[in-house]
Structure 1
Amino acid sequence: MDQTDATGAAPPVVRGDDGLARPTWAATDPLLRDYYDTEWGMPVRDEHGLYERISLEAFQAGLSWATILRKRPAFREAFHNFDPDAVAQFTDADVERLLADAGIVRNRMKIAAAITNAKATVALRAEGGLVDFVWSFQPATTPAPRSYAEIQTTSPESVALSKGLRAKGFAFVGPTTMHALMEAIGMIDTHLVDSHRRGTSGVWASVPLHGALSGDAR
């Protein structure tokens, strides 16, 4: 399939053999395509799922998301299915075990952050829990991007979420990583307007979209 427009540039979305339009990053690799069609941008409102996604977003820093998805089964096994209570009890011996596990990303700082964040997740229960805390940073509106150029990598809300989580003892939760998290869990909808997944989360059904009328996006 020709994936260039009249200018020779790749179009924002590509229509697959099933007739559905997806962004180019999710159009060819079967693993990414399935993730895009079933998970990305859907609401995550349980502690276990949110802790896992925070952990994996941190491990993804500097790497491709495809790499993380391919390693996700090994990550889940190595981190006790991302049970915060279990990971919070990890010792130095567990860190060494993880550093020797070729199935995951073997980065000492990221492994330490996952353990630190498990402890912070458990501690946050006394203040209402991780889910309520993270979702409290949901913006009032969501972008309506028509091209990749209109999708930001940070936002005032992701900066605030990063600062808030750091204040609660979390690590490896920078503004860019938190913006990616917000996209992944449906706190904002950055599906391209022409994508078949636009609006499927249900989070923004009755909420204004940036640029929905004017065509301009944040």
Structure 2
Amino acid sequence: MNSPERDRCGWCGKDPLYIAYHDQEWGVPEHDERRLFEFLLLEGAQAGLSWITILRKREGYRQAFVDFDPERIARFDERDIARLLANAAIVRNRLKIEAAIHNARALLELYDAGGNLDDRLWQQVDGTPLRNHWQVLEQVPVSTSQSKAMSRDLRKLGFKFVGPTICYALMQAVGIVNDHLITCFRHTELDHRDMS
């Protein structure tokens, strides 16, 4: 339940959708393959845009990209691309749409090789969330040595739209790093959750 009187990270503002995302999802350690793939595609779609734009289109993405099922997305062809480019419920950018399809194929190749997205992403922190202690938003970096390493690894595997900044946003979103400000109620909640 969202409680407006709580101290939160300033970036989520007052939008109820943003507050719900901040309070319930952002920074929560995620290991589910489908959810990790969803965030990988959404963070790529967000490049150059605000995250609230993507949150508002998230349901459209879930429908357009068949609940982020990599096997089904990997089979998308030119007709599907044309359909997606006409879909106002998502970001209609050909490069981003093609990258999502390409990334589904890259993920299936990773699976075929015996790997998984969970291990590849979390290896950058040896499986344990990084706990930062930022006091103000200006201290939060846009990329780190870990996000640069993740970007190199994903690119080597054939993924696209996975630069260091996108990878750091992904790390924040799926709880590989806890970047809630120390004044935010979620910072302590997530730290305690990680230790339990």
Q: Are residue 32 (structure 1) and residue 18 (structure 2) matched?
A: yes
In the alignment, the residues of structure 1 paired with residue 87 and residue 100 of structure 2 have an alpha-carbon distance, to the nearest angstrom, of 15
CA distance in 1, matches of 2:3, 2:101: 42
Q: Structure 1 length as normaliser, TM-score?
A: 0.83
- Number of residues paired by the alignment? 191
Report what 2:134 is aligned to. 145
User: Hey, what does 1:130 align to over in structure 2?
Assistant: 117
Q: Runs of at least 4 residues of structure 1 off by over 6 A? A: none
SS of alignment partner, residue 102 of structure 1: coil
Which is greater in Rg? Answer: 1
For residue 154 of structure 2, what is the aligned residue in structure 1?
165
Corresponding residue for residue 185 of structure 2: 196
Partner of 1:127: helix, strand, or coil? coil
In the TM superposition, residue 201 of structure 1 has moved relative to its aligned partner by 3.2
RMSD: 1.7
Distance (whole Å) between structure 2 residues aligned to residue 156 and residue 96 of structure 1: 38
**Unmatched tracts of structure 1, length 5 or more:** 1-15, 207-218
Identical positions, percent:
43
Provide, for residues 35-57 of structure 1, a one-character-per-residue CA deviation record: whole Å limited to 9, x for no partner. 10111111110111011100000
| Structure 2 residue matching 1:21: 3-state secondary structure | coil
Distance 2:156 2:75 in 1: 21
Inter-CA distance 127–102: structure 2 relative to 1 (3 Å threshold): same
Q: Write the mapping of 1:36-51 to structure 2, written as runs, cut at 5 A.
A: 36-51=22-37
1:192, distance to aligned residue in structure 2 (A):
0.1
Where in structure 2 are there 5+ consecutive unaligned residues? none
Q: How far apart, CA to CA, are the structure 1 residues paired with 2:37 and 2:190?
A: 20
Give the number of the structure whose residues are more often helix, by fraction: 2
Q: Could you tell me which of 14, 39, 44 is aligned with 1:58?
A: 44
Q: Could you tell me which amino acid in structure 1 is paired with residue 160 of structure 2?
A: A
Q: In the TM superposition, what is the alpha-carbon distance from 1:94 to its structure 2 partner? A: 0.5
1:147 partner amino acid: V
- What secondary structure does 2:101 align onto? helix
CA distance in 2, matches of 1:163, 1:169: 10
TM-score using structure 2 length:
0.92
Contact 1:40/1:185 (<8 A) preserved: yes
